[in-house]
């Protein structure tokens, strides 16, 4: 069962197989194969999704630095949840917590220069 989870690169995951028949007809190897196949079938039943901690931000910026910021978001694999185009561009983004540090540093530098503003949205912070 563990090897099946490892083959699917699953971590921090538990698999439970309940055996209703206590016989020994399958033998040790047969039981191992049956358990592994049960885990494989359970995994194959649905779409696998990686669960991670994320940080959600709202970033407001002028159009002149939009390309720079979208390149940063793309390289850090941030997801753009929404975009509003007014006199400024306003992004709501979500980024994995382990990728947030460098992005925060970059945004703070731009914010200190008065080039953009950003805030971590409540309930989704680091």
Q: Where in the chain is the domain with CATH 3.30.70.240?
A: 54-120
Q: What is the pLDDT of residue 22?
A: 67
Strand, coil or helix: 12: coil
CB 100 within 8 A of CB 126: yes
The vertex-112 CA angle with 110 and 116, nearest 5°, equals 45
Q: What is the pLDDT of residue 47?
A: 80
Q: What is the pLDDT of residue 123?
A: 65
Q: Identify the CA nearest to 89 among candidates 126, 118, 124.
A: 118
Q: Give pLDDT < 70 ranges for the chain.
A: 22-23, 123-126
- CATH class of residue range 54-120: alpha beta
């Amino acid at each position: 069962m563990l090897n099946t989870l490892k083959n699917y690169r699953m971590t921090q995951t538990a698999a439970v197989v309940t055996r209703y028949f206590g016989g020994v007809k399958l033998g040790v190897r047969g039981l191992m194969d049956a358990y592994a196949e049960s885990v494989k079938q359970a995994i194959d039943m649905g779409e696998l999704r990686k669960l991670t901690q994320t940080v959600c931000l709202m970033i407001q910026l002028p159009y002149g630095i939009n390309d720079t910021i979208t390149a940063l978001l793309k390289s850090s694999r941030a997801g753009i949840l929404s975009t509003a185009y007014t006199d400024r561009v306003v992004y709501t983004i979500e980024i994995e917590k382990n990728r947030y540090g460098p992005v925060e540093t970059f945004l703070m530098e731009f914010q200190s220069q008065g080039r953009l503003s950003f805030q971590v949205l409540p309930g989704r912070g680091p």
